[in-house]
């Protein structure tokens, strides 16, 4: 089996190399215009969009594993430029269904004969994806949805994962050192993610966990799994039909309040991310429906994410900073989360944030959307060499997709207002204010203590100075070698003066002996040259920042 997987991987590697060859040539020409010689060339926005389209077509052609990889890459603005993120964001996990005979073989391998496992079974799938497809059946008199892993997908995925690992050294040649780190980690993360998504037993556990977290919430419905008809490759669950959440006309015909629906969806995701720490990570309209009484149905928990307490706390601080239009607070939170370098130009990033908020405000100063802020941040993330933690990337993607669904339901939807109300109700804003007050109190206490400690110490210092018994220890930080340069110039100056005087004296005593004059003057000339060079500024290689205020103005005009 291992040999077969290796052989398949070798063949797939050649197929992938052929499929991506136009992009490989293009990226090589960016460094050397004529492949083997010539300088680099400037890559325009139009060129990036064109390449992103080629990448999209290549991923679709290569099949399930690479479709999933493209979806994951669409959440990683620290690896790809914004043009790629936008194009790959449209990548749909929708492929032709596998033949029924092959799916039936998977079902019977896990559950036994289909006729015995279910009362009835419709062999036409109601939805198909790259890793599995869903059928409708009857079990114990009730309609159920049966999710079956795509036949033979395991070997294909394992072969493709090997191809991706083998391709890493080649890809590293076309990206910077900072992004190379992120890309290398992404390969391991992707392998873990896709294996988890193929494990339907884990999906069932996630489904149950989220269901328990919302046990007392009547704004959503999560299908109940049926363990006795589920396994690693088959997941049977309650069948819950509904109206697609983006079917506006149907929702209006049923008299459903779309603003309330958007609010409920936003609050559900806030609870998942901020409170529970585990969330449904694929909220596109195909996975969200609405019951006739206005409750939201969630499908497909294969893609899910987890958030640790530290990131949860920082996400809350980020939301509060955005709500308060606190640019410094936003930057501090991004730095603490590790998405922004501590050495970043805060002025430039502050301008980006201010523009993002100003662009999103509209007529009403309170009406602005986090998604637009995220887009600005994401485009900047690529231009600064940053590292974006995987689950934080998922949070960013989920926030963007959810906000898009909410705006579809209600074009005037106020994300910040909903988030602010939720954080206030849950006590997060009060807790934030309390932390600030505690911080101020501690600082005040330290200041008061200093007021009592300083006068006696100051009096002792003055007494010692009055007795001429005061000693000062001075330590100079000279990281740039200024003192060393001054010492060299002083020595050069002394030697130059000595050499100059010696040369003049020799010339005055014996002007005809040019050899003696030259012997004295040559070292003097060398010292003069060294002294002159010590005053020259070092020109070296100058770098041009990738993101300047001029770039900012150009973006603003666009």
- Show the tokens assigned to 120: 């009835």
Residue 137 burial (CB count, 10 A): 21
Q: Find all residues with CB under 8 Å of 219, minimum gap 6, and list them.
A: 264, 267, 268, 295, 296
- Evaluated on CA atoms 271, 275, 276, 279, the torsion sign reads positive
* Residue 372 near residue 414, CB atoms below 8 Å: no
Query: What Rg, from alpha-carbon coordinates, does the chain have?
Result: 33
- What SS3 class is residue 498? helix
Rounded to whole angstroms, the Cα distance separating 129 from 133 reads: 6
Say which DSSP state 150 is in. P
Rounded to whole angstroms, the Cα distance separating 537 from 464 reads: 45
pLDDT tens sequence for the chain (558 residues)? 456 557 778 888 888 888 888 888 887 777 766 666 667 778 888 888 898 999 999 998 888 889 888 888 887 776 778 888 888 877 766 667 788 999 999 999 999 999 999 999 999 998 877 788 999 999 999 999 999 998 888 888 999 999 988 887 777 766 655 565 566 667 777 888 888 889 999 999 999 999 999 999 999 999 999 999 999 999 999 999 999 999 999 999 999 999 999 999 999 999 999 999 999 988 888 889 999 999 999 998 988 888 889 888 988 888 888 778 788 888 888 888 877 777 777 777 777 777 666 655 544 434 445 555 555 555 555 555 456 666 677 787 788 788 889 989 998 888 878 888 898 888 886 655 455 444 445 555 555 555 555 566 666 656 666 666 656 665 655 555 666 677 777 777 777 777 777 777 777 777 777 777 677 677 777 777 777 777 765 443 333 333 333 343 444 444
Name the residue among 152, 153, 162, 171 with its Cα closest to residue 7. Answer: 162
- Show the tokens assigned to 64: 């399930």
Residue 446 burial (CB count, 10 A): 10
Tell me the C-alpha to C-alpha distance, in Å, between residue 400 and each of 200, 269, 372, 458: 27, 12, 9, 58
Q: Is 482 exposed, middle or buried (0-12, 13-18, 19+ CB in 10 A)?
A: exposed
Name the residue among 220, 349, 216, 354 with its Cα closest to residue 283. Answer: 220
Residue 160 a catalytic site member: no
Rounded to whole angstroms, the Cα distance separating 388 from 338 reads: 7
Q: Which residues of 180-192 are buried (b: 16+ CB within 10 A; e: fewer)?
A: bbbbeebbebbbe
Provide the pairing of β-strand 304-306 with 278-280. antiparallel
- What SS3 class is residue 108? helix
For the full predicted model, state whether its pTM sits above 0.85. Answer: no
Q: Which of 160, 231, 282, 414 is catalytic?
A: 282
């Amino acid at each position: 089996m291992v040999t077969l997987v290796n052989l398949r991987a070798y063949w797939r590697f050649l197929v992938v190399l052929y499929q991506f060859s136009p992009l490989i040539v293009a990226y090589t020409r960016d460094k050397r215009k004529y492949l083997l010689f010539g300088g680099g060339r400037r890559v325009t926005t139009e060129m990036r969009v064109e390449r992103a389209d080629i990448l999209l077509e290549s991923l679709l052609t290569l099949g399930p594993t690479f479709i999933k990889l493209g979806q994951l890459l669409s959440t990683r603005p620290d690896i790809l430029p914004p043009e790629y993120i936008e194009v790959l964001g449209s990548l749909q996990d929708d492929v032709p269904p596998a033949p029924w005979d092959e799916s039936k073989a998977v079902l019977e391998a896990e559950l036994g004969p289909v006729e015995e496992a279910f009362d009835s079974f419709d062999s036409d799938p109601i939805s198909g994806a790259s890793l599995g497809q869903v059928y409708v059946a009857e079990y114990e008199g009730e309609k159920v949805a049966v999710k079956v892993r795509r036949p033979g997908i395991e070997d294909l995925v394992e072969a493709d994962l090997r191809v991706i690992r083998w391709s890493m050294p080649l890809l590293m040649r076309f990206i910077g050192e900072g992004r190379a780190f992120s890309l290398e980690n992404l390969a391991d993360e992707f392998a873990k993610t896709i294996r988890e998504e193929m494990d339907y037993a884990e999906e069932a556990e996630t489904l149950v966990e989220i269901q328990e977290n919302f046990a007392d919430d009547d704004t959503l419905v999560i299908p109940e799994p049926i363990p006795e008809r589920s396994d690693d490759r088959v997941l049977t669950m309650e069948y819950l039909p509904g109206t697609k959440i983006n079917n506006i006309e149907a929702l209006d015909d049923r008299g459903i309040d779309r603003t309330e629906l958007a609010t409920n969806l936003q609050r559900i995701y806030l609870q998942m991310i901020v409170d529970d720490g585990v969330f449904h990570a694929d909220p596109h309209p195909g996975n969200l429906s609405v019951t006739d009484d206005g409750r939201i149905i969630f499908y497909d928990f294969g893609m899910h994410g987890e958030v640790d307490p530290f990131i949860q706390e920082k996400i809350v601080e980020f939301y509060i900073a955005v709500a308060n239009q606190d640019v410094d607070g936003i930057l501090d939170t991004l730095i603490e989360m590790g998405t922004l370098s501590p050495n970043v130009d805060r002025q430039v990033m502050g301008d980006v944030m201010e523009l993002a908020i100003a662009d999103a405000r509209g007529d009403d100063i309170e009406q602005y959307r986090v998604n637009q802020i995220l887009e600005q941040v994401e485009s900047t993330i690529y231009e600064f060499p940053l590292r974006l933690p995987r689950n934080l990337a998922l949070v960013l993607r989920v926030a963007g997709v959810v906000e898009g669904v909410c705006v579809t339901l209600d074009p005037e939807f106020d994300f910040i207002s909903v988030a602010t109300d939720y954080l206030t109700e849950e006590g997060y804003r009060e807790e934030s204010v309390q932390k600030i007050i505690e911080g101020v109190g501690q600082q005040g206490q330290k200041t008061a203590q200093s007021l009592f400690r300083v006068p006696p110490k100051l009096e002792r210092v003055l007494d010692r100075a009055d007795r001429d018994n005061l000693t000062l220890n001075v330590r100079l930080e000279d990281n740039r070698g200024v003192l060393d340069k001054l010492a060299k110039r002083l020595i050069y100056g002394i030697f130059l003066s000595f050499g100059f005087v010696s040369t003049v004296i020799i010339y005055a005593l014996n002007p005809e002996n040019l050899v003696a004059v030259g012997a004295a003057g040559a070292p003097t000339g060398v010292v003069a040259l060294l002294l002159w060079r010590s005053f020259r500024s070092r020109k070296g290689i100058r770098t041009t920042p990738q993101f300047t205020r001029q770039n900012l103005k150009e973006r603003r005009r666009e």
